[in-house]
Structure 1
């Protein structure tokens, strides 16, 4: 069965005030890749969001990367420490067994001296949304190598064509979305179009959280980001 996963970069007030109500009206569940500071600032609200079936994931690198995804001022040790610290915080907020995924910035996972930091993270997280663009095929996608479509870098027509392709091809499309109706994100009209498409295709397209879909749809970890 084809699948689409809605992922939002950040745990901002915009997501609480605009995105969560829209998802509730549509009856859809999504994944929010958390910024540690904004998550802690509104921890009670995000606990409530999680109780309604949304996933709170680790997005601690997203706000620090350059537009091409690199972290040139970070060493691999710094990257790993940041990921582990945020993982620990998420477990403290949502429980020690809380299942959640990790998201990497758009682009290639490179840090200081152009070192690939991804191999340091795969042993920590079995489900990873990478910065690579594309569709994911059942039983040929590794759960720590999941591709996505960064919606803010795509036209509305391209996003809708990608949704149609995933449905017709039986693949898994992960949408990466920032704020909605604010600078640096997508407009409310496109967001509503995406939700309307998902509602119309509920019978043929599965919509679930990232970690849940990766665990059930993809091959478990084994391959590592190169």
Structure 2
């Protein structure tokens, strides 16, 4: 028996190594987000001054990178500051020139000249293309992601989503949903809109994403003011600190990095 012991030990060691390899492989397939349990993209819409004053300092202090969907018309008084945002590693996404939305009942705040019901697909695409040129002048980049204004995808009653594909990596919508990497639609990416939630409530979204190995996109508008869809500054800060503390489980990235990663993963799965 003793003379066979070294062989038995060697065999057991090989079996343990094989088991470890198989386990690591299985975990890798289950955790596709850079081998983390979920992915989170932090986004801010409309180029509001409070983003510069109240959001950027917290993000930069934690070394977190976010995506700012820029409505170009709103940047006129602080263009140099938005250029610095790009230089510090945040993504500037396209959110049109003038933020047109579908008007009508319940949307009386939409100005007639910016009502997507009266736009053509060509006119909305012209506006989006000019916004891209403006953003390239700020950050020098040609690759970009887009966010539908008010989540609206039609102009003059015609869906223009397919027209975005040649100029954008991805486009974000506004439904409160999250999906696993294989189910993410890159030109209809869902997000959770923050409207008065506190840090604990937002943390529950992250916990759900971790439990389901999903993508969670967070959408902020006002940060301690600037928009009716608002989050208090202290809740915004507490939530970002929570994300930073959970980076071991959460991959936090700008939308363009996330979209490229998903695109590559989904293409590989089709091979």
TM over 0.5: yes
- Find the partner of 2:72 among 32, 36, 51: 36
**What does 1:180-219 align with in structure 2 at a 5 Å threshold?**
180-182=223-225, 183-184=227-228, 185-218=230-263
Q: Which has the larger radius of gyration?
A: 2
Instruction: Give the C-alpha shift of residue 158 in structure 1.
Output: 4.5
- Find the partner of 2:149 among 83, 87, 105: 105
Q: Number of residues paired by the alignment?
A: 220
Tell which has more relative contact order, 1 or 2 (C-alpha 8 A, sep 6+): 1
Shift in CA distance, 154/75, structure 1 to aligned 2, threshold 3 Å? farther
Which region of structure 1 is more displaced relative to structure 2, 74-83 or 54-63? Answer: 54-63
Q: Does residue 200 of structure 2 align to residue 142 of structure 1?
A: no
**Conserved 8 A contact 1:61-1:104:** no
TM-score calculated relative to the size of structure 1: 0.86
Q: Which has the higher helix share?
A: 2
In structure 2, C-alpha distance between the alignment counterparts of 1:94 and 1:72, rounded to whole Å = 32
In structure 1, C-alpha distance between the alignment counterparts of 2:148 and 2:235, rounded to whole Å = 24
Q: Does residue 60 of structure 2 align to residue 24 of structure 1?
A: yes
Shift in CA distance, 72/191, structure 1 to aligned 2, threshold 3 Å? same
Q: Which runs of 5+ in 1 are unaligned?
A: none
RMSD of aligned Cα (Å): 2.6
Runs of 4+, deviation exceeding 4 Å: 66-70, 153-158, 218-222
**What does 1:1-226 align with in structure 2 at a 5 Å threshold?**
1=36, 2-60=38-96, 63-66=99-102, 71-95=116-140, 97-112=141-156, 114-152=157-195, 158-182=201-225, 183-184=227-228, 185-218=230-263
